[in-house]
Structure 1
Amino acid sequence: MNKNRVSILGLMSGTSLDGIDLAYVTFQKGKYQNFEMVFAETIPYPEKWREILQNALHFEAEKLKALSVSYGDYLGDEINRFVKKYHINNIDFIASHGHTILHQPEKGITLQIGDGQTIANKTQQKVVCDFRTQDVALGGQGAPLVPIGDELLFAEYDYCMNLGGFANISSNENGRRIAFDICPVNVVLNFYAKKLGFYYDANGDIAKNGTFDEALFHQLNGLAYYKKNSPKSLGIEWVKETIFPILETSNATPETILRTFSDHIAWQIANVISEGKKVLCTGGGTYNQYILQKISSFKKCESVIPDKNLIEFKEALIFAFLGLLRVDNQINCLSSVTGAKKNHSSGELFYPNL
């Protein structure tokens, strides 16, 4: 056991429902930027869990409590399988994002399922989870949470951008970390790709060959959210209440929607990036060559595409880091990012019942 390093298993489940990202990471104590992602894997959701998580927004309170426990049990099983597969014999703790069911910070509501006590009992490991609730209670957006990792682990980039279910971005402006959700990405693109029999639009090829709907493009860009100043964040309910109705009433084909919405994504991203800056791009959407090329056509910037592990598992890595900061009682939530009343150390700790 290396006493100069901390070993953490980070878990992330995104709104695009691709699956659970697991990353076994070690950090050097006192020099967090010296980290190593030792093992990482995405566990695709079985169709049963995909359907449950898609519909959970409509569950009653008691059913959600039961779901949080059963989902925690499922996560525990997958963690144990991962640990066995990679012969991992040293874990200081597990840091779990959980799965977001409801996020309405303006109403003081955020809910991530995946009961921490259940995971702790199942894995016999200390667990840190529920990173958002405290921030919302302090008047913040509870999101995005990744920017503290951008600030401390990836400071050499002008922007850190993640293209997942949503696009979010962070940057340091005048000594303060600023971050926000830009727009929906895969949560919309995957929905329409599935109408054509695909889980996602590989490389953006469907969009590239689709028809551009200018009126729909302008309608999307005119949404009030895009005019708001940060801090601001998006949730799946906003997409269901605002985006999907616009797309459905347009009567456009899935191919046209994929093309037009991809252009919309690129336009919104280009609007928040300054000319000539260096952008670290991560998340599954980074593989969408059409969107990246479109961003460059709207705004000249240097898009840095890192190695596969960082593209796919940066969020799991940073939730491991958030857990480390929480265990050490260090700030892991920035008020400049979320709009909370103060910087704070967020996350609940759970210990296994022996």
Structure 2
Amino acid sequence: MLCLSVICKAQQINAHLVVINPNGKVFTLYLNEEKINQQPEAIVKAFNVHEGWLKLRVEFDGVTEKITDSIHLKSIDKYNNKEITLSLKERITEGKNTYKFEFISIGELSGPVTPIVPELPVNLSVLDENKKFGNIYEMHLRKPFYIKNYDSASAKCTVDLDDKDIEYHLFLLKNTNDYSERIKYTRRAILFNCYTAERLVKLLTTFDTEIEKLKYAKLAFSHLTDKANAKTVENAFLFKSVSEEYETFLKNIAAENYQKSLNCKVAVSDNEYNEIYVSVVKGKYDHDKIATAKKAVQKHCFSSVQIKKLMDIFTHDREKLELAKAAHASVIDKENYKIAAESFMFGENRKDFLNFISN
């Protein structure tokens, strides 16, 4: 039970309640048995919530699992005309993904109950026709065409975006009233270009949702010209949980880079391997075991046979495949790595693994 309470004089209050799912999984929210959103969404807002006990229930789309809890909203100034934000915190219990409500913040009200509809979907009359705006887009028939400067093969750009380019992009968004169009333009600006972490923050903050910000922050990593400053990107996020997820992403990137730098030629000794094997087996649940195993393959070198033996610890192909892919860079005899395919139970996963190591 969540409790938002302090002792204070009673009064009638009016507040908004927002529930977000940082991982993007859509859901339906029920407040005191009243269905709040007609279509499943990852961010749901309940308007005009009053004091008293609020019974919360979340149902995920296509899943029988339900999350329930209650909030005791006291009649105090702290909650009056405020927006209370809760997050669905994911956790793994006995090998299963479960959720619980977690308090995030109390802030100012945002957004009307009925969204304001613009008179015109797009207003680009202020933009000159058939003109190139820096290195980011060109206008043709009052439509912006974003320039593709990024080469995915080399992970480099013909030209990097500067502050003026970012200003041109923001100017376009300011004169585009259709939200879906603005999102489309920012996606292209991010995926078609290279930029500093500070400039990426300016692009990301044009997204309205944390989920969208996090998704494109990850996709943008290879586009950063100053990857050493990647942590600066966290300034684009409003919620701590989203910042922590991005920080974990950066740590995984660093671990993978270290793994590649090992240039593995010699496998760990039998004694070292036995210590690693025992530490993985000791994990209480599969998610503990896979975490231990992945840390080991990111720091040490192994033979194909040694990796297959680690894979055999796991019951499900999901963990076997995750470990097999994570370990590929650490294998000293890649020509023999197909032997690890024997560990899989299902042919589909075996095929996935063999395709992965052949590319």
TM-score by length of 2: 0.20
Higher RCO (C-alpha 8 Å, min separation 6): 1
TM-score by length of 1: 0.21
